[in-house]
Amino acid sequence: MTSPQPVPASTYRLQLTADFTLDRARQTLPYLRDLGVDWLYLSPMLGSEEGSTHGYDVVDPTQVDDARGGESGLRELAEAVHSAGGGILADIVPNHVGVATPKDNAWWWDLLKHGRASKYATAFDIDWEAGDSRIWLPVLGDGTEEDPEAELSRLRIVEGELHYYENVYPLAPGTEDAARSAAGPGAGEEQLARAVHELQNYRLMPWREADENLNYRRFFAVNSLAGVRVEIPRVFSETHREILSWIRDGLVDGLRVDHPDGLADPGGYFENLRQATGGVYLLGEKILEGGERMPAAWAVDGTTGYDALGEIERVLTDPAGAAELDEVAGRLGGWAGTDAEAVWAEMIHGTKRAVADGMLRSEVERLARLVPGLLPEDAEGERLQDALAELLACFPVYRSYLPTGRHHLDDAATDAVRRRPDLSEAVEALLPLLADPDHPIGERFQQTSGMVMAKGVEDTAFYRYTRLASLNEVGGDPSSFALDLARFHALQGDRQARMPRTMTTLSTHDTKRSEDVRARIDVLSEIPGQWAATLDRLMELAPLGDGPFEKLLWETIIGAWPVDGTALQTGRLAEYALKAAREAATRTTWTEQDPEFEAAIADLAERATGTGELRAEIQALADRIAAAGVVNQVSMKLIQLTLPGVPDVYQGTEIPFPTLVDPDNRRPVDFAERAALLGRLDGGWAPEFPAAVETEDGADAGAPEYDGGALAEYAAGLKLLVTSRALRARREHPEWFNRYQELDVIGEAADHAIAFTRGGSITVATRWPLGLDDEGGWGEAAVVLPRQAMVDLLTGRRFGGAHTDGTTRLAELFEHHPVALLVPEDGNTLR
């Protein structure tokens, strides 16, 4: 009988780059073990594009990336990790490979050189017939109106290769000689290059044609990431040989699978992995919509944690602020008086439809080509494509996994016909085929719906819909504003029962805003009126003419603003604002820039981080929410670290680390700073909440102000204290975390506390801190504890015991900090 495969008590995500290699990870290991981390969770390690900062553009699946430390780096790190009693969770990318530099990807290079005769032809997802047996590559610049392919004049033959600026492509055997012979001795370089190009197994086309004419599957709309067909056994074997050797050689202990929704058969893929690895710890990066569950038949331990992220976010958001924030959003967005959920539903239908008609048009056309003649009167296939695009726009989740999820297809069909009665015949004809997992269109539609959802919702609507920016996060539904305690506890109990080994997270390399930014934005739900007034003033001082975007931008700025009173870095703000504006695509886009609007954004960033009135307005509100933001940050962290599931800490977030969308969220981490602070904590230093300072202008007594530097030190110390004590507890006392049950909280302020037991440990955390202060504090509110002696790991103080009535006043429990982590006194032995 084989022994059970190990499961991590926790993970710590590290982003490997040429600057932060596997060797650097090994050097950081002593600190991470002291922090309490069990397993390291490593970003993709296979050979990737030169200069890649993320590793999701694999070009060589046969070896560990040399730039990231190579095989020796992995072996040395694995030896160190395992000697310390830990493990390694590796992120892998089965859906696609990087093809930006064809010469660096041997498979792609061979494909371009030999076309359909290449031994790798079946590895890529290509519609050869649609491209006249050629691969269409969208790399040419804009031509002229008279000659869209005028850029072909830039082609040159250089040492047996076709060059277009810095882009290099192979020549099919014999084609250069054939072209020279046909062109004659007097042919110039341009004429010869064009002639050679016509003989290749690929066609270079203007980049703007990709959306409609591309004939290979991409990762979403990224032309430089080509889809791979791992459903074919040989392709699975060759793309996973190196990965499986890590498992076989004991270097890696678990796998995290990137974007399984892009695969033809995710369930089959996970089963193949299970069999090939012997059943190691396995996670799938699956984004679940509200009420959706991971397919029970999948051979996985869980998701990568976005579902937990959304639940924690919403239990800390004050529902009392929804109406006023909706009024502001409606006024700015032109939907005042309309239900916010209905607005969101219409918005995402529109953005998804725009994606299906635009950047993913080639995928819709490919779907239609799979059912020729389905509508005899629709000779050009336009009605069929229209119906497919409408079904994709109406699909309520990322995808189905037929036969599982068939009801989502039925719901989409009903909605599509409701919106477009003229498409009823086409939808009716398509439905039985789309519901058939063995029909090519049924399989490919499932792969396509996730693309449309991701680009239409996460990468577009999330930058347009602005009830509260913290709700616009990966895996979340912004139309769901808050979560009551009963529902929150029910969801955690369900997670404990169904997927106790799933991951939980608060920040990732994909989140739009890190946990610390969102925690501060959540405070605005408690002061919607004050925030609305400040927002109006900010928009008056720095108008952009796009109200919804401005609201999202200013909320993000407030969330990312430093606690210590210094300004957000101008460059970081400008880069984020520009990316957000282009993603929103309301005034400027990635392909059609508005120079005047983008100049206004740059000016806003300069002035917001400068010294004038605009900066003063920001600073005033940032000071108002500073202390409450810290409360939210540590409450959020403690809740996540102690919930059912395997908690992940994204690099650097053990202290407040306010980052924005990538690449900002992959900023280097100062581990030396964190190690020194942890040493102070372990040496006996106790963070103390600073006393309020008196202001010269006689500020509102209900809004105390604090020394920024002192508050920042407290926040860093407390968050690191929370993280280290919770991680150590989970690693050294797993028996304290084997069930889930909410604890009773009594008293008028009971709604401000979140309390639960995990079977040995008890978490108690504060929520809605500004409202709590306005109501006069905790008063006589109390939590009902088990009648045994408990110790708070954050303070060392003793609570409860056999001779008490079981209640502990929250004012006493939270005397020093707004959170508490209680464990049995007789088991309080953390190394």
pLDDT of residue 525: 98
For the record, the structure tokens of 154 come out as 């830039």
Q: Rounded to two decimals, what is the model's pTM?
A: 0.96
pLDDT of residue 828: 57
Q: What is the CA 720 to chain-centroid distance, rounded?
A: 23
Phi-psi region for residue 596, left (φ > 0), alpha (ψ -120 to 50) or beta? alpha
Strands 254-257 and 281-284: parallel
pLDDT of residue 231: 97
Which one, of 558, 704, 721, lies nearest residue 627 by Cα?
704
**Cα–Cα distance measured from residue 675 to residue 30, given in angstroms and rounded to the nearest whole number:** 9
CA angle 32, 33, 39 (to 5 degrees): 85
- 611 CB contacts (<8 Å, ≥6 apart)? none
16 φ/ψ angles, rounded to the nearest 5 degrees = -80, 135
Cβ atoms within 10 Å, residue 746: 14
pLDDT of residue 831: 44
Phi-psi region for residue 404, left (φ > 0), alpha (ψ -120 to 50) or beta? beta
- 559 CB contacts (<8 Å, ≥6 apart)? 469, 470, 513, 516, 517, 518, 519, 520, 521, 658
pLDDT of residue 350: 98
For the record, the structure tokens of 533 come out as 């007034």
Q: How many CA atoms lie within 13 A of 239 on its CB side?
A: 27
- Please report, as a single letter, which amino acid is at residue 717: G
pLDDT of residue 826: 84
pLDDT of residue 187: 81
Q: How far apart are the first and last CA of the chain?
A: 33
Which one, of 645, 659, 509, 515, lies nearest residue 43 by Cα?
509
Compute, in degrees rounded to 10, the torsion defined by CA atoms 744, 749, 753, 758.
Answer: -10
- Is the dihedral angle over the CA atoms 139, 141, 146, 149 positive or is it negative? negative
Which one, of 625, 596, 619, lies nearest residue 607 by Cα?
619
pLDDT of residue 329: 96
CA angle 647, 649, 653 (to 5 degrees): 145
Show the low-confidence residues of the chain (pLDDT under 50): 1-2, 698-701, 830-831
* Tokens 């900090």 sit on residue: 817
Which one, of 533, 575, 583, 530, lies nearest residue 557 by Cα?
575
- 389 CB contacts (<8 Å, ≥6 apart)? 353, 356, 357, 364
> Which helix (DSSP H) or strand (DSSP E) does residue 746 occupy?
strand 745-746
Exposed/middle/buried for residue 529 (C-beta within 10 Å: 0-12, 13-18, 19+): exposed
Which one, of 760, 816, 755, lies nearest residue 790 by Cα?
760
pLDDT of residue 829: 52
433 φ/ψ angles, rounded to the nearest 5 degrees = -75, -40
pLDDT of residue 827: 67
For the stretch 331-370, pLDDT in tens is 999 998 899 999 999 999 999 999 999 999 999 999 999 9
